A and B are shown apart, each in its own frame.
Chain A
Amino acid sequence: MTLARTATESDVRDTGLDESELHARLTRTWRTGSRLLERLASVDHKVVGRRYIITAFVFLCLGGLSAVALRMQLARPEARLLGPDLYNQLFTMHGTTMMFLFAVPVMEAFGVYLVPLMVGTRNIAFPRLNAFSYWVYLFGGIFLWASFMLKIGPDAGWFAYVPLSGPDFSPGKRVDVWAQMITFTEVSALAVAVEIIVTVFKQRAPGMTLDRIPLFVWAMLVTSFLIIFAMPAVMVASTMLILDRLVGTHFFNPAEGGDALLWQHLFWFFGHPEVYIIFIPATGMVSSIIAAFARRPVFGHLPLILSLIAVGFLSFGLWVHHMFVTGLPQLGASFFTASSMLIAVPNGVQIFCWLATLWDGRPVFRTPLLFVLGFFFIFVIGGLSGVMVASVPIDTQVHDTYFVVAHFHYVLIGGAVFPLIGGVYFWFPKITGRMMNERLGRWNFWLAFIGFNVAFFPMHILGLQGMPRRIYTYLPEMGWGQLNLLATAGALILFVSFVLLLVNVVASASRGAPAGDNPWDAGTLEWATTSPPAPYNFLRIPFVTHREPLWDNRDSLPVVTGLSVDTREHLSGTVTESFPQLRESSPEPSIWPLLAALCVAAAFLGSIFTPWAVVWGSIPVAVTLTGWFWPKDTPEDEK
């Protein structure tokens, strides 16, 4: 297919050029320069995505180290390693870092990197917003950890329940730091969500109708909608908290007509979809890995998509199961038992479809698949213990105990981190052009698998034995010492497994075996380009004929031509059929997103101290946004 074109001297298209000429010209148009300023101005989704991924893993490391410190303190009763002050800060930092600075961003990061490749376009939609979102995220994370280093780390839990987090019981700046960190991550998450939705809806390669969109991309799409609908709730909540703390409002103060439970409703209305914001992308990774290593398309493509969407909707109807012991009306609470049980059905559909795929396939046992098999083992336990805590009566016993700690680590580590690590092994060759070491990978998997289960399985028992969460120590006569010691040993093994992952990544990045374009012989479009992908992603935009285009076209993919090679252009198409509609210009690199992010960060930071920071801080933000959106005389504008 060739798009209508009007070739002129200044408007060279990719139609008639040979491959080396095309490569040279496209590289010149799309590359990120090597000077520092050019790097900082980069809007390439792969550059930003890689930064996002690395930053998220740095935060995983910090969150993991704080978890190790917590486990060391709990290894024996009445330990004096950490006092209550430091312990409370550390568990708050652990939860906050893992949820807001690792789990959500790392999934978005993979989306930023992979979605444009998987849908066959040259860059993500709104690439400058993408760069901006990364900087805001980075500054938010640095802000949180710098505060912790300055001994003003938040200490009211990642859930920051009022009144404990309110002005009366958390004086100082600690909780303000937490609440503003939320604002940073909200802004960056919302930005990425918008980019991914637009990329998926408008920039898919021609021929990629809705039912040919890869499952990972579907997962990112559903996740992005969850972000857009869930984040505003916590945005409202954290803003109200800041107002209560900074300007003396009484949203959450029962003595003045406020309501302490209002916080919990708002927080969990965001907080439960948050779990699925983390889990749904991981299901996309599982689908990708299973298809590649079972050597067949995933069974039940349509049911899987419908399950994702169903999970997305249902995730907004579960939040009260975090509040079963707050004394809400019994009938209302039991409605949420029913909805929490109901979500097991679409999740069950996914598990069954993957099992059917593996059953009919001929699995190749490489490291990514091992992590997916570990995912089944662990996540199904977590899902089933979730069925237990969904029951109001059972929850009255296990709520806020180590049983729940075990449950959600089985869900989040089993359900999201295991597929994610599998995904790292799976896509590392694409991102770096080199394979990861298989032998180290197996060690990594088995240590993670054993370490995880040794660390977290005993916590189920501890919870039933009456050990509450968030206690910095316990009395020797409680009899929890041995299982806690065991859990700490497991946590250390798990930690070693992550060190192995780091070693493997670092060593393989420079010394790994060359990967080639498609080392796993997978079927989706990201494997159609070189490893690592060229700055322009695809020499010519592929034309998609099948859900697994590379399996359908073994020799070469059909392509569409007609895009300009001297200016940044991508195709924009219809939402359902992806029928190409127009050539759209894609923004050039710009330093303004970084400057805007700096000004936004300064405004957020200042607003911890005075509400006027919002007013005065908006002026530099407005200046940088003006620079950002200043009209350029691009060829498109002249037409």
Chain B
Amino acid sequence: MRLRLDLMALIPILWLLSACAGEQSALDPRGPHAEHLARLFWIFLAVCSFVWIAVMVVLLIGTLRRTLPRPNPLSLDPAQERRSTLVVGGAVAATVLTMIALTAISYLSQRHVFAREKAAVTIKVTGLQWWWDVRYEADSPDQTVTTANEIHVPVGEPVTVKLAATDVIHSFWVPSLFGKQDLIPGQDNEIQFTASRPGVYRGQCAEFCGFQHAHMGLLVIALPPAEFQAWLKSQTAPASPPPDALQARGSEIFAAKACIMCHTIRGTSAGSRVGPDLTHFASRKTIASATLEMSRGNIAAWVVDPQGIKPGTNMPNVSIAPDELDPLVSYLAGLR
């Protein structure tokens, strides 16, 4: 009975080995730090699995092996007690050594993954209920880039992310690049990671932060350094003026409605910092903190009914007349 059980337990473990790839998996590392962490995990898993199997084998044999009935439970065999003492003592010694070894490995690995290099890019990420404000620091203010929910980084170069929060505690976590770090009001945290290949890596807030904790995603987009510089340059520009009458009408609606109370669109009169910067909104891949894909339909859905998509979000449902929707969405979709 118990033997069959142990074999059954192997099935999920094999499954574990095969099921590691995913959108934002810690075991699908795409950078040296995450690779190191994944390796460390596998080492620990191997040691722990060995210990567990050993304990289960002893338990199985110990409970099933034939022993003589003991009419008086107090009549113990002194020789067996001595043997047990030796074996238990040995097992305890082995435990001590294993724990020392694992602690040492963990410590060395910790020193390694938290070691700092000179960063090629420094990004300040501020967590807010329930989105990410992203700023690229530069020497002069006009070179500073502000965006939201997407972090572009150059491939192969160390990136420092400064983490801050202004409302509640959040946690920055992009598993395929690095482990998580909290964003705590009144405290400055910092992590450094490198992406080794171009790609889009998803992350998500990992500290419970209220209603929409579940929909507080972000994307890290790793680009070859030249493309990264081009992207950075394009982001420093203000929004281009509406090219046609429809979009111009949209920009008027944006300015007349509650939208302008919270959002910035550089190059226009919209300058509020409550919500995400929308200057190059349509150049992003997602809407509402990596919740919806960027598309005209989704933009329309989001501006009409944010409370239906993310109940409790700080963006209110603003009444938009049917004939206003198309110009507004066209304008937003034109903010590239």
A residues lining the B interface (CB < 8 Å): 83-85, 88, 156-157, 161, 163-164, 168-169, 254-255, 259-261, 295-297, 299-300, 303, 325-327, 330, 333-334, 337-338, 341-342, 344-345, 348-349, 351-353, 355-356, 358-363, 373, 376-377, 380-381, 384-385, 387-388, 390-401, 453, 457-458, 460-461, 464-466, 468-475, 477-479, 523, 546, 548, 551-552
Contact = CB atoms under 8 A, between A and B. Distances in A.
Contacts of B22: 465-466, 478-479
Contact of A334 (B110, B171, B217): B110
Contacts of A388: 41, 44-45, 48
B121 to A, nearest CB: 20
Interface in B190-220: 190, 202, 204-214, 217
Contact of B73 (A342, A344, A391, A523): A523
B167 interface: yes
Contacts of A551: 72-74
A169 B210 contact: yes
A345 B186 contact: no
Contact of A399 (B55, B167, B180, B210): B180
Interface residues of B, number: 99
B173 interface: yes
B187 A330 contact: no
Nearest to A360: B80
Contacts of A453: 9
B186 A254 contact: yes
Interface string B157-177: 000000100011101010100
Nearest 7 interchain pairs by C-beta: A396-B179, A254-B186, A466-B24, A471-B214, A327-B189, A359-B62, A391-B106
A361 B181 CA distance: 49
A627 to B, nearest CB: 45
B213 A387 contact: no
B11 to A, nearest CB: 10
B92 A345 contact: yes
Given A84-B214, A473-B214, A478-B24, A296 B73 contact: yes
A254 B16 contact: no
A359 B187 contact: no
B91 to A, nearest CB: 5
Q: Which of B24, B59, B182 has the most CB of A within 10 A?
A: B182
B231 interface: no
Contacts of A338: 103
25 contacts: A84-B212, A85-B311, A168-B167, A334-B107, A345-B96, A352-B87, A355-B58, A358-B63, A362-B68, A362-B70, A363-B63, A373-B63, A380-B52, A381-B52, A388-B45, A391-B110, A395-B179, A396-B180, A398-B26, A400-B180, A465-B27, A466-B202, A468-B173, A468-B213, A551-B73
Contacts of B51: 380, 384
Contacts of B182: 325-327
A548 B72 CA distance: 12
A475 B291 contact: yes
Contacts of B110: 330, 333-334, 337, 391-393
Contact of A84 (B9, B62, B312): B312
Contacts of B207: 161, 400
B58 A255 contact: no
Contacts of A85: 211, 311-312
A168 B204 CA distance: 24
Contacts of B109: 391, 393
Interface in B96-136: 96, 99-100, 102-103, 106-107, 109-111, 113-114, 129
A482 B55 CA distance: 31
Q: Which of B59, B65, B109, B167 has the most CB of A within 10 A?
A: B59
Given A164-B209, A355-B59, A394-B41, A464 B25 contact: yes
Contact of A359 (B48, B58, B179, B213): B58
Contact of A327 (B63, B95, B168, B187): B187
A299 B88 contact: yes
A395 B169 CA distance: 18
B151 interface: no
Q: Which of B74, B111, B190 has the most CB of A within 10 A?
A: B74
B88 A353 contact: yes
Interface of B: 2, 5, 9, 12, 15-16, 19-20, 22-27, 34, 36-37, 40-41, 44-45, 48-49, 51-52, 55-56, 58-59, 61-63, 65, 67-70, 72-74, 76-77, 80-81, 84-85, 87-88, 91-92, 95-96, 99-100, 102-103, 106-107, 109-111, 113-114, 129, 163, 167-169, 171, 173, 175, 178-182, 184-190, 202, 204-214, 217, 291, 311-312
Contacts of B37: 393-394, 396-397
A169 B26 contact: no
B169 to A, nearest CB: 6
Nearest to A291: B73
A465 B20 CA distance: 6
A344 B44 CA distance: 14
Contacts of A471: 213-214
Given A384-B51, A461-B15, A352 B92 contact: yes
Nearest to B44: A388
B70 A326 contact: no
Contacts of A342: 99
B44 A161 contact: no
Contacts of A168: 167
Given A85-B312, A393-B37, A468 B25 contact: no
Contacts of A164: 168-169, 208-210
Contact of A464 (B20, B186, B213): B20
Contact of A361 (B56, B67, B190): B67
B312 A397 contact: no
Contacts of B204: 466, 468
Contacts of B103: 337-338, 341
A395 B181 CA distance: 10
A44 B70 CA distance: 38
Contact of B41 (A255, A303, A363, A397): A397
Contacts of A83: 311
Nearest to B58: A355
Contacts of A399: 179-180, 206
Given A396-B180, A465-B20, A466-B204, A169 B62 contact: no
Nearest to A460: B16
A169 B167 contact: yes
A458 B69 CA distance: 41
Contact of A466 (B2, B88, B175): B175
Contact of B27 (A157, A255, A464): A464
A330 B72 contact: no
Contacts of B208: 156-157, 161, 164, 400, 469-470
A477 B23 contact: yes
A351 B55 contact: yes
Given A261-B187, A393-B109, A468 B206 contact: yes
A627 B237 CA distance: 79
Nearest to A296: B73
B81 A299 contact: yes
Given A360-B81, A391-B102, A400-B180, 20 more contacts: A161-B169, A161-B207, A260-B186, A300-B85, A344-B95, A345-B99, A356-B88, A373-B2, A380-B55, A384-B49, A387-B102, A390-B106, A394-B40, A461-B15, A466-B22, A472-B213, A478-B24, A479-B23, A548-B73, A548-B74
A296 B70 CA distance: 8
